[in-house]
Amino acid sequence: MNMNYKILGGTLLASTLLLGACGGNTDTTKKDEAKTEQKEVKKDSGALKLGETKKIDKTTFTVKEVKVTDERNEFNDVKAEKVITVFSTVKSENDEDYVAGQEAAVYVNGKKADEYALGSDKSETLSKGRTADVSQSFAVPKDAKEIEIEIKPLFSVGNEKALYKATIK
């Protein structure tokens, strides 16, 4: 009988510790969420304006302008209501040749826009110390006004990005 009390006591102790450990995670999660919100605010306030330059690793980016275009690609699977083209200048200080013109991603209301290849899009291969003007197009909703453009070097393993905010018509 004494053995049963030891087993029962051990089970109660283990249950208490287990429940206590589970209950502590709630506060940690709330603290993590608060930290995440603060980080997002900091990122938001660091947005660049068109024409401003950002160097990431050995590549320098300048988004010069964003234009709405009437050009369409009849062979593209994406059905575009509105197409915008992002025009950038890229300078490479990479030791290897660098392919510029495919680094951008566009977001409308936090949702990533589809890339939309046009014949007028321009990519360039740059050797060290060279600069090129490039362009990349995206399909956006017809009512899109405010966009965010994220740019980072192709094949970059880091998380550093240049964030631009722009208004389109």
pLDDT string in tens for the chain (169-residue length):
555 555 545 555 555 544 445 554 444 444 444 333 333 334 445 899 999 999 999 999 999 999 999 999 999 999 999 999 999 999 999 999 999 999 999 999 999 999 999 999 999 999 999 999 999 999 999 999 999 999 999 888 888 999 999 999 8
This prediction has a pTM of 0.72
- Give the per-residue SS3 of the chain: CHHHHHHHHHHHHHHHHHHHHHHCHHHHHHHHHHHHHHHHHHHHHCCECCCCEEEECCEEEEEEEEEEECCCCCCCCCCCCEEEEEEEEEEECCCCCEEECCCEEEEECCEECEECCCCCCECEEECCCCEEEEEEEEEECCCCCEEEEEECCCCCCCCCCEEEEEECC
- 53-167: which CATH topology? Immunoglobulin-like (2.60.40)
Domain boundaries, the chain: 2-45, 53-167
